[in-house]
Structure 1
Amino acid sequence: MRLVLRRGTVVSADTPPPAGEQRLVVAIDGAERAAVADVGAVGPSQAGDDVVVNAQAVDLRLGSGGFDIVHVNLTRGLGGSGVPGAHVMKLNYSSLQHAVLPVEQELDDPAPAAREEVPGRVGVFGLHGQLAPIAWAIAQAAAAAAGAGAARAGYVQTAGGALPGGHSRVVTELLDRGLLTGHLTAGPTYGGRDGEAITTIGAIDHAIAVLGWDIVLCGPGPGILGSGSRLGHGGMAALDTAHAALALGHDTVLCARMSAGDPRERHRGLSHHSATVLGLLLQPVTVAVPAGFVPPDDHGFHAWPALATDLDGYVASGLPARTMGRDAADDEAFFRAALACGLHLGTPLAAD
């Protein structure tokens, strides 16, 4: 393995956010290429800056690529000082290692088992495109439950997709709209608005016991690792996440990945990603599905409530309604499955 690094000059740069990503155009060997810079990691860039970018994704023409990633800004990015008092490393023993203040150390109890457990609900999904319809449907369910009050739903970003917490513009939009109450990054992911967790189970525990979230939505960032094999894909992170939530005693709901428009047979109907996770789980979970879906006979171990979903309402909300290049009209099953998950999560437990 060797990093595919190229040196270039920033041609143009948008206004950098305080955190998250800055979009750039970088000239490399006379050609202009799109690039992004993680401002929290490498600082802001300006036109004329001398930068080194990782060009691997663009060179491989990966669907999750389309841009180079700034590895270091040689002009103004060498004065970083890190987070004061931090000593726990993320991306440790790589050139991108950096110290964080993990949320797990904020729990004062020496023995977590000794404190009163707070019951919560955990929604587990395997593809980032499911997050927005889940969050929207949670809000719709809460609004329909008279006197129930709005549920506080937050997002724990897990492994399986993009690692930088600022890479998802959808998360920013959901936070701005009040559809998410917070964002934690867990495991190798980093840069969460509300903190960093060493483990996913630590993030779930902190979100419910300390931050007071009613619902914790756990899943990968944008993009997904995949090999086409049964076990070699980012969706398998859902298996560990579901087991973590179950071990903590929380009501656990798995969002089924479904499709009626995916050209790959393995993802038609109930995707093999979801089917594999459901087949390997050691305890039953709830899999809320769209009305009319018939659960497979070999997954009767789990609960499969069927719910009517408002796809038109979701599309009208203006939230992202495309997956893998397909509009909601071309793949209703994908969005309806995520909406069913959110609707179930947002319905108060007493009304289940």
Structure 2
Amino acid sequence: MIDIKKGTVIEIKEIRDGVEEILVDIDGIKEKAINYINLTGRIKKGDIVYLNTTAGNLKLGTGGYHFVMINCNKNSITSDKEGHIMKMRYTPFQIKCFCVEEQQSPYHNMFLNDLDLDGLPVIICELHSMVPCAAASVKINTGNNVKIAYIMTDGGCLPISFSKLVDCLKKSNLIDYTITIGHAFGGDYEAVNIYTGLIAAKYVIESDIVITAMGPGIVGTGTKYGFTGIEQGEIINAVGILKGIPIAIPRISFSDKRDRHIGVSHHTLTILKKIALLPAIVPLHRYSSEKLDLILSQFRKEEILNKHRIRIKDGWPGVTYVKNIDFLQVTTMGRSINDDPEFFLTSSAAGIVASEFLKSK
């Protein structure tokens, strides 16, 4: 069931591409809400709106936002965009998207061919927060002329406009283009699945390096297979099948309060041992010897070193670069770079590995 409440818009706090952050009055209480322009049109002060308050009522990790479902002050909204592919299909919010591979696309005929990635380096993240340091590390090691495409999957939030991080990364020139796949929507390009998304990154955008990750909001249950980040293993397989270079960022932390996420997260161990059927490169930072020994022992115990290749690099340059961007505040599970440095250093090391493949071509 959906929790729905009626409110009045009292302030428009911020407008980004595709999204408006607003304040609404709900029964005399001021609450934060998100209005997706592509779904419900633009909003103005005084509008009466119906809001999905389900996640907010559960105190889930949506940043404390409710979401506008209906603007009572609009009689109708008509999309003027092209496209025949529906995302969020058969829901009240199904949205028309123009996908790169559909019949009306100028790229349709290209997708009829048996294309591969021809050694394209693809950095594969489990969490959205891994993207910034990986991208920064690529740029500072190869130069700003290198073109990075970010593919956002539908394992987390679906509208890419929800991510303030993506907005900041584009403004900082750390990522150049975005592709939203599956039911995720709102990227510079839309694609039906990870395979066509990767091909679009290679041949439509002509990217030098690709980064894949879900949007904000990973789902986890504390069980072996019950987390949406398990898609990382499936993307490793997709990149391998398409003859790209899969570079899988392991989830490393020494600050998480949960034992299953200390050192190498149980998520990473499951992904690399059980889900990834094809080999990947697994980057690590030059941690202290004590921490590195623990990480490698965890990998050995799960026989991961027999399948995947470890590359150890210094992740500090990318991390330092990100820390010096004033308007880019990066956190993972509420922890900053200073709180959980090993997590971000690992992501940065992945960027170095990817850029070295690019330099060797």
Same fold (TM over 0.5): yes
Which letter maps to 2:304? H
Contact 1:26 1:34 in 2 (8 A): yes
**Which of 42, 45, 48 is the aligned partner of 1:44?**
42
Residue 110 of structure 2 aligns to a residue whose secondary structure is coil
How far did residue 338 of structure 1 move? 0.6
2:349 is aligned with 1:340: yes
2:12 is aligned with 1:13: yes
Identity of aligned residues (%): 27
User: What do residues 28-80 of structure 1 show as CA deviations (whole Å, max 9, x unaligned)?
Assistant: 1222211111122211211110101100111001123401011121112x422
Counterpart position of 1:228: 222
Q: Unaligned stretches of 5+ in structure 2?
A: none
Bigger mean CA deviation after superposition, 288-297 or 198-207: 288-297
Which letter maps to 2:87? K
Q: How does 1:223-302 map to 2 (within 5 A)?
A: 223-280=217-274, 281-292=276-287, 293-294=292-293, 295=296, 296-297=299-300, 298-300=303-305, 301-302=307-308
- Partners of 2:47 and 2:281 in 1: CA distance: 51
How far did residue 13 of structure 1 move? 1.2
Contact 2:282 2:308 in 1 (8 A): yes
Counterpart position of 1:182: 177
**Which of 66, 72, 75 is the aligned partner of 2:73?**
75
How far did residue 110 of structure 1 move? 6.4
How far did residue 290 of structure 1 move? 0.5
How far did residue 321 of structure 1 move? 3.6
How far did residue 95 of structure 1 move? 0.5
**Cα gap change, 1:304/1:28 in structure 2, threshold over 3 Å: closer, same or farther?**
same
Residue 274 of structure 1 aligns to a residue whose secondary structure is helix
Counterpart position of 2:212: 218
Contact 1:90 1:98 in 2 (8 A): yes
Which TM-score applies when normalising by structure 1?
0.92
Number of equivalences: 342
Contact 2:117 2:244 in 1 (8 A): no
Counterpart position of 2:94: 97
RMSD: 1.8
How far did residue 109 of structure 1 move? 3.4
Which TM-score applies when normalising by structure 2?
0.90
Which letter maps to 2:55? A
Which letter maps to 1:29? D
**Cα gap change, 1:44/1:85 in structure 2, threshold over 3 Å: closer, same or farther?**
closer
Which letter maps to 2:185? Y
Q: Unaligned stretches of 5+ in structure 1?
A: 144-148
**Cα gap change, 1:125/1:14 in structure 2, threshold over 3 Å: closer, same or farther?**
same
User: What do residues 261-288 of structure 1 show as CA deviations (whole Å, max 9, x unaligned)?
Assistant: 0001111111111111101211100011
**Cα gap change, 1:31/1:44 in structure 2, threshold over 3 Å: closer, same or farther?**
same
